[in-house]
Amino acid sequence: MEVEEKSIELSYEYVDDGYSGSNFERPNFKNMIDDLNKGKFSIIMVKDLSRFGRDYIESGKYLQKIFPEKGIRFISVNDNYDNDNADVSDIHLRFV
């Protein structure tokens, strides 16, 4: 069996130290969304879902509506989630 190795180039890093993950008005989160809307990247990768956001409803809005509409691939490393390989509804299990 041949395995194809794929690499992802890190273009931007958005960090909001000192802000709660339940706050979606974080300065760099807003910068990330602005850059997303400008088409600066097509993949968002997070360490785990709690680093993206802790508000289930707000996170779901991005994961189920906004990112798919914009063709954004979302990867959560520690949760082994990649919307390129899974049904977005699979992520519900990880929020519980």
- Give the DSSP per-residue string, 35-95: HHHTT--SEEEESSHHHH-S-HHHHHHIIIIIHHHHT-EEEETTTTEETTTS-GGGGHHHH
What CATH number is associated with residue 75? 3.40.50.1390
Q: Does a structural domain hold residue 15?
A: no
Structural domain harbouring 59: 27-95
Q: Does a structural domain hold residue 89?
A: yes
pTM metric for this prediction = 0.78
pLDDT at 96: 45
pLDDT per position in the chain (96 positions), as tens? Answer: 454 556 777 889 999 999 998 999 999 999 999 999 999 999 999 999 988 999 989 999 999 999 999 999 999 999 998 988 865 455 554 544
- What six digits make up the tokens of 25? 């008005």
pLDDT at 3: 41
Q: Does a structural domain hold residue 86?
A: yes
Cα-to-chain-centroid distance, residue 61: 11
Q: Does a structural domain hold residue 68?
A: yes
DSSP state of 29: H
Q: Does a structural domain hold residue 18?
A: no
User: How far apart, in whole angstroms, are the C-alpha atoms of residue 51 and residue 85?
Assistant: 21
Q: Does a structural domain hold residue 52?
A: yes
Total domain count for the chain? 1
Q: Does a structural domain hold residue 73?
A: yes
